[in-house]
Structure 1
């Protein structure tokens, strides 16, 4: 996804005056990436490390372990450019969301 598409999405999100929980979550995901990448299309290693440490330490036990985060980045980096694109970032978010959903389902199988 190009930076112009991200910026358009970001501007679209800002137009709304009130958000549903899901809209707020999407806005947060986009805003976090854009701020962390300093408006660039990708997160470099340092920016990715900071994003994970600052925003994901509650759901990832190795968030402050730089070698673990670097290894995670290598696993996400599908095009091997040494950076994390928005799509690669969303792959991480999807993995974390799926893991959280599975844990919640396993701990509370009868709730809907």
Structure 2
């Protein structure tokens, strides 16, 4: 039976490929696929953002090799960064409650 971490890894892989296979290179996200993934999978994150160019900025930041696509490694960097930010927020909230 898989562990929770193994299940989480499987979900990340499957989620990436569910969107990357829609157009063009089936192993990379183009801007439209990335936008769709962000809108559907990170709804709360996007809903509090007011920047209409947010997807463009995320794409530029993630696209390390500048091929105008996001590969799985680049995608994992985004998920890891957001996870760290969420954890930092969670820890700060716990510290405030502890005072």
TM-score range, shorter chain: 0.7 to 0.9
Structure 2 residues without counterparts, runs of 5 or longer: none
**Number of the residue aligned with 1:37:** 20
Structure 1 residues without counterparts, runs of 5 or longer: 1-17
Following the alignment from structure 1 to structure 2, what is the Cα–Cα distance between the partners of residues 51 and 66? 16
How many pairs align?
Answer: 93
The answer as to whether partners of 1:33 and 1:86 remain within 8 angstroms in 2 is yes
Q: Is residue 81 from structure 1 mapped to residue 67 from structure 2 by the alignment?
A: yes
CA RMSD of aligned residues (A): 2.2
The answer as to whether partners of 1:49 and 1:66 remain within 8 angstroms in 2 is no
Give the number of the structure whose residues are more often helix, by fraction. 2
Query: Alignment partner of 1:78: what SS?
Result: coil
TM-score between the two structures when normalised by the length of structure 2? 0.82
